Chains A and B, each alone.
Chain A
Amino acid sequence: MIRQPFTFHTPHSVAEVVRLLAELGDGAKVLAGCQSLMPAMNLGVVTPQHVVSLTRLRSTLSYVREEGNEIAIGALTTHHTLAVSPVLKHRCRLLAEAAADIGDVQIRHRGTIGGSISHFDPAADYPPVCLVLGAKFRLAGPTGERLVPAEEFFVGYLTTALNANEIVTEVRVPVLPVRTGSAYVKHRRIEGGFAIVGSAAIVEHDNNICQRISVAVSGGGAIPFCIPDVEGRYHGKRMDESLITEIAEAAYNAAEDPTNELHANAEYKREMVRVFTKRAVRVAVERVGG
């Protein structure tokens, strides 16, 4: 039960949201899809004195639009909309794949990409996917808008680059070239549960010669990260099983400090980073050109 009384605000525009947040200061929380914040409020773990609902912005901030070689996604687009989006299916399937497996049907109907990334649980699905895509997030604040790349956005446990009076209004991901294969695989104990480890891979190869590769993992450290220098090291190499093994090894090496969890300790998580990177890259390779 929510114990702390709060004032409920229903702004109609981004400008109004930003103004409100500046006015209300630290005691305010932004409510998007509610799937992350509401459980915390129900448990009394988070106790805002002001709740700023973005519901009235849904019509303007819910879209999936192809804009040249990028796809613009409104921050209030739900996981379900992303999962079934024809634009994403053909242009950036990786994001649709991640969205399709978040939580369960009811959570996907309500949860939003902007809300999820703003909350930034390190075990969530969007962060590694956004990292590997090199996504950019449009943030709106009192000083105007800024575009922040994913790797600068995800700062620490439940901490993002958002200032107290900023919100995410848009997520921008690249249109993946036709010759690209991508995959997001995650390891979780139970349906609907958070991932123990997740691995997102994008691969482009020409006749099995690696043209481009990037991999991002969650569960390998305090927060998700891109495997460094993967692209540099493997460009031009033959995309065979031994290369995939090498990439997985690189992921393992990069996962120096996973956090211990009750049912998955650091040693296990590190090994799973290797296993699931292998699987993600393998599937991505298979999917190239198809």
Chain B
Amino acid sequence: MTILRSPFAHAKITSIDVDAARRLPGVRLVVTGKDILEHTIPIPQTLDPRGFGGNGTEVHCLAIDEVKYVGESVAAVVADDRYIAAEALSLINVAYDDLPVVVDAEKALEPDSPLVYPQWKTNQMLRVHFQGGDVHGAFARAAHTLKGTLRIHRHTGSPMEPRACVATQDTALGYLTLWTSTQTPHMLRTVIAQTLKMHEEEMRVIQPNVGGAFGIKIATHPEDPLVCLLAKLTGKPVKWIEERSEHLQAAGHARAQVHHYEVAFENDGTVVGFKDRIIADNGVVAAICSWGLPFMTTFTLPACYKNPNCETDLSIVATNKGSLNAYRGFGKECSSFVMDRVMDAVARRFNMDRAEVRHKNFISPDEFPYEQISGMRADSGNYAGALNIALEKIGYADFHKQQQEAHKQGRYLGLGIGFELTPEGGCIPDSFITAYDSATVRMSPTGTVTVLTGVTSPGGGNETGIAQIVADRLGVTLESVKVPQGDTLVSPYGMGNWSSRSLTVGGSASFIAASDVRNKLLKVAGNMLETSPEDLDLADGKVFIKQAPQRSIAIVDVCRVIYRQAFTRPALDIEPGLESTRYYRMGNINHIPDDRGRINAYPTYPYAAGIVIVEVDIETGMITPLRYVLCHDSGKIINPLLVEGQVIGGTVQGIGGVMFEELAYDENGHLLTGTFMDYTMPTAKEVPPIEVYHQETPSPFTALGTKGAGESAISAPYGAFLSAVEDALSPFGVQIHETPLTPNRVWRLIQEAKARKAV
């Protein structure tokens, strides 16, 4: 399958002529939006804004009457090979009538702005307002107030593997099978089946090895049901391999917010009031996670700081660009980023230490669980502890001297602090973004173990972690536990991998299911050893009496009895079989709205302090990161090496986001950075060594005390780098309100600061 995509950001499709394309030898099928209407219903959306009191619209696999962004799918071709398919694309004639284009989210809210969806009579998709305490009073009474703006640019996850899938209608097995690079096979199956008016049981989704995802590959992209439909209609296996330029236009974007904040604070740096007006540039309506990201930004404010007097006012705005989509951080990076700016601004006002201001305002360990104005309820934490470890490891106490020595040599060094709160296990009411999941643990007659999970893995290694948990619970070696994932026919229904849930939810479900199997083993072994199950333990492939370990039997012998001697005395106490399917629901979630209509959407709250030392070349604005120290806390750690892999990877993506990556549009809605030549991500040379330290403050709400580590560490670099550059350039009084930190921008800020000082 190849897709004809719109070259216009906003236009009416006046005609589509596919005759010539259809007649090309080797072309099996050419479809437009109108052609497939009879076969489909609008794609069920992961988060339909209309279900939350906002404006929305239907989402189809192909544009019908209008296109709303450059890259929107307009027609699809299935042909015998990719070259014929491409030739056919060039034979499709589409006539467009230009419509006015909306690219700036703030301007889009002005009364005379052109409209992306005229039927809304506005460009506002959704407005979210949270308020708590006495904001007005706090601002009136406070000793000081300040205002600030933060513009966070549009960028995205861009995994190394773009999207790819193969759909085949298998007449022998009777399923429509979709192999796809996805994070959510079950969710995808449910949505695609609905879209194509099929039973879910007629579909099978298989997630093979995925070449990175970061949220981008959570259901549902319009190409997913489309390729399945085309496989059905042609009766042939159909493959779609996305090219990078399609991916950057159409696979979904992130961040893209403007914050106008106000802070009320006292002489000692205590923040007593906080207001934030947020405008989020959502792009178009889509079936992917979309506006959930800015929602989570506002939901998680004011992050890890105590502040009962808060008001946040978020407008989620439609523009003529590709939609927002989940990307590591899921909006939480923006809330931590804004709070980092707030803390730095308060510190600057008094020339106060930036760490001290944070310490003053952190939620302290004995105040948990702590509820923010949105209903967010943080489980546990020792924010001060993590910050102090990072400060100590970077040599904070000595840095000022180091900075001054360098300054004497004409060098500008700066240190910046970023502190992130990255809640995990996202759980939104009435959606598949939910905080429970499943596992089946099955021990075979030969004592080996299969774990089937509803969670999946993009390569983060949760299957190793899960295998460890189960091996431990069942007293077998790691090698004898296999964790095949990602096949809807085989795995119990689950939500896949995102929001760092896999090890926490999947691991917990596996733990409980493994415990069921363990209990059966102990019960039968107890009968075989003529003792009570409470006296027994499992390890090294044996069941043994704790007080007399020499009295033991091999686990495989117990399996034999359970499987082959089900009618004999030792096995009669249990239901036959050595398998259990269980579900684990995270604690600390509340979807029953309180009297203010609030819910809590996150169960666990990892956090991290990221401190960077940079050197700024004031002649060019180039920033060189010299050292980065991270102290993170994601609760109990099952596998330190895997966690380290996650947080280093996250840090580098954060560095890429704050410094190098940008999805830039011109005034006609064309993406200027549409290939890797212009969308530049860090190489090994841009990145300093990341020094990782851990703190473990378990969550009281998860079975294992884990909190999830997959999204951690991506947020701290934003605040840390801006803080560090401002610190390096403090002789000039530079303040930064916008990202990315390109050399041009930094240089410009220096010139403006110099000019202000000269006046």
Show the binding face of A for B, using Cβ within 8 Å: 1, 3, 5, 39, 43, 104, 187, 189-193, 196, 262-265, 268, 271-272, 275
Show the binding face of B for A, using Cβ within 8 Å: 82-83, 86-87, 89-90, 243, 245, 619-620, 622, 660, 662, 664, 672-673, 675, 677-678, 680, 682-683, 685-686, 742-744, 747-748
Q: Is the CB of A189 within 8 A of B660?
A: yes
- By a CB distance below 8 angstroms, the chain A residues around B678 are 262
Q: Among the listed B82, B673, B686, B747, which residue makes an inter-chain contact with A268, where contact means beta carbons less than 8 Å apart?
A: B747
Give 11 CB contacts A-B under 8 Å.
Answer: A1-B243, A3-B89, A43-B675, A189-B660, A189-B680, A189-B742, A190-B682, A262-B662, A262-B673, A263-B744, A268-B743
Beyond A43-B675, A262-B678, A263-B744, list 8 extra A-B contacts (CB 8 Å).
Answer: A1-B86, A187-B620, A187-B743, A190-B680, A191-B685, A263-B662, A263-B742, A275-B620
Q: Is the CB of B677 within 8 A of A39?
A: yes
Known A-B contacts A43-B675, A262-B664; A271 and B747 likewise in contact (beta carbons under 8 Å):
yes
Closest CB in chain B relative to A252 CB, distance in Å:
13
The binding surface of chain A is classed by DSSP as loop
Closest CB in chain A relative to B244 CB, distance in Å:
9
The CA of A192 and the CA of B742, in the complex, are separated in Å by 16
- By a CB distance below 8 angstroms, the chain B residues around A264 are 742-744
> Which residue of chain B lies nearest to A268 when distances are taken between CB atoms in the complex?
B744
Interface-centre pick from A190, A191, A264, A271 (highest chain B CB count, 10 A): A190
Q: Among the listed A1, A190, A263, A275, which residue makes an inter-chain contact with B619, where contact means beta carbons less than 8 Å apart?
A: A275
Q: Among the listed B83, B245, B622, B686, which residue makes an inter-chain contact with A191, where contact means beta carbons less than 8 Å apart?
A: B686
The CA of A192 and the CA of B685, in the complex, are separated in Å by 10
> Which residue of chain A lies nearest to B674 when distances are taken between CB atoms in the complex?
A43
The CA of A158 and the CA of B245, in the complex, are separated in Å by 23
- By a CB distance below 8 angstroms, the chain A residues around B685 are 191
Q: Is the CB of A191 within 8 A of B620?
A: no
The CA of A268 and the CA of B672, in the complex, are separated in Å by 20
Closest CB in chain A relative to B746 CB, distance in Å:
10
Closest CB in chain B relative to A179 CB, distance in Å:
29
Closest CB in chain A relative to B42 CB, distance in Å:
31
The CA of A98 and the CA of B645, in the complex, are separated in Å by 36
The CA of A127 and the CA of B686, in the complex, are separated in Å by 26
The CA of A184 and the CA of B458, in the complex, are separated in Å by 43
Q: Is the CB of B680 within 8 A of A193?
A: yes
Q: Among the listed B83, B619, B686, which residue makes an inter-chain contact with A3, where contact means beta carbons less than 8 Å apart?
A: B83
Closest CB in chain B relative to A200 CB, distance in Å:
17
- By a CB distance below 8 angstroms, the chain A residues around B83 are 1, 3, 5
Q: Among the listed B87, B620, B686, which residue makes an inter-chain contact with A190, where contact means beta carbons less than 8 Å apart?
A: B686
- By a CB distance below 8 angstroms, the chain A residues around B677 are 39
- By a CB distance below 8 angstroms, the chain B residues around A271 are 747
Q: For the complex of A and B, list the 9 residue pairs with the smallest distance between their C-beta atoms, beginning with the closest.
A: A3-B86, A191-B685, A268-B744, A191-B683, A190-B680, A263-B742, A275-B619, A264-B744, A262-B664
The CA of A5 and the CA of B742, in the complex, are separated in Å by 40
- By a CB distance below 8 angstroms, the chain A residues around B675 are 39, 43
- By a CB distance below 8 angstroms, the chain B residues around A5 are 83
- By a CB distance below 8 angstroms, the chain B residues around A268 are 743-744, 747-748
Closest CB in chain B relative to A68 CB, distance in Å:
39
The CA of A263 and the CA of B245, in the complex, are separated in Å by 20
Known A-B contacts A1-B82, A1-B86; A265 and B744 likewise in contact (beta carbons under 8 Å):
yes
- By a CB distance below 8 angstroms, the chain A residues around B742 are 189, 263-264
- By a CB distance below 8 angstroms, the chain B residues around A39 are 675, 677
- By a CB distance below 8 angstroms, the chain B residues around A191 are 683, 685-686
Q: Among the listed B82, B243, B683, which residue makes an inter-chain contact with A192, where contact means beta carbons less than 8 Å apart?
A: B683
Q: Is the CB of B748 within 8 A of A262?
A: no
Interface-centre pick from A39, A104, A187 (highest chain B CB count, 10 A): A187
The CA of A5 and the CA of B82, in the complex, are separated in Å by 12
The CA of A134 and the CA of B686, in the complex, are separated in Å by 34
The CA of A286 and the CA of B510, in the complex, are separated in Å by 67
- By a CB distance below 8 angstroms, the chain A residues around B673 are 262
The CA of A5 and the CA of B81, in the complex, are separated in Å by 14
The CA of A104 and the CA of B686, in the complex, are separated in Å by 13
- By a CB distance below 8 angstroms, the chain A residues around B682 are 190
- By a CB distance below 8 angstroms, the chain B residues around A3 are 83, 86-87, 89-90
- By a CB distance below 8 angstroms, the chain A residues around B243 are 1
Q: Among the listed A1, A104, A189, which residue makes an inter-chain contact with B743, where contact means beta carbons less than 8 Å apart?
A: A189
> Which residue of chain B lies nearest to A3 when distances are taken between CB atoms in the complex?
B86
> Which residue of chain A lies nearest to B675 when distances are taken between CB atoms in the complex?
A43
The CA of A31 and the CA of B620, in the complex, are separated in Å by 36
The CA of A1 and the CA of B162, in the complex, are separated in Å by 14
> Which residue of chain A lies nearest to B82 when distances are taken between CB atoms in the complex?
A1
The CA of A3 and the CA of B87, in the complex, are separated in Å by 7
Closest CB in chain A relative to B61 CB, distance in Å:
22
The CA of A39 and the CA of B243, in the complex, are separated in Å by 13
> Which residue of chain B lies nearest to A104 when distances are taken between CB atoms in the complex?
B683
Closest CB in chain A relative to B288 CB, distance in Å:
25
- By a CB distance below 8 angstroms, the chain A residues around B86 are 1, 3
Q: Among the listed B82, B245, B680, B744, which residue makes an inter-chain contact with A43, where contact means beta carbons less than 8 Å apart?
A: B245
The CA of A268 and the CA of B677, in the complex, are separated in Å by 21
Q: Is the CB of B245 within 8 A of A190?
A: no
> Which residue of chain B lies nearest to A274 when distances are taken between CB atoms in the complex?
B619
The CA of A271 and the CA of B743, in the complex, are separated in Å by 12
- By a CB distance below 8 angstroms, the chain A residues around B680 are 189-190, 193
The CA of A289 and the CA of B114, in the complex, are separated in Å by 66
Closest CB in chain A relative to B675 CB, distance in Å:
7
Closest CB in chain B relative to A227 CB, distance in Å:
19
> Which residue of chain B lies nearest to A193 when distances are taken between CB atoms in the complex?
B680
> Which residue of chain B lies nearest to A44 when distances are taken between CB atoms in the complex?
B86
Closest CB in chain B relative to A119 CB, distance in Å:
14
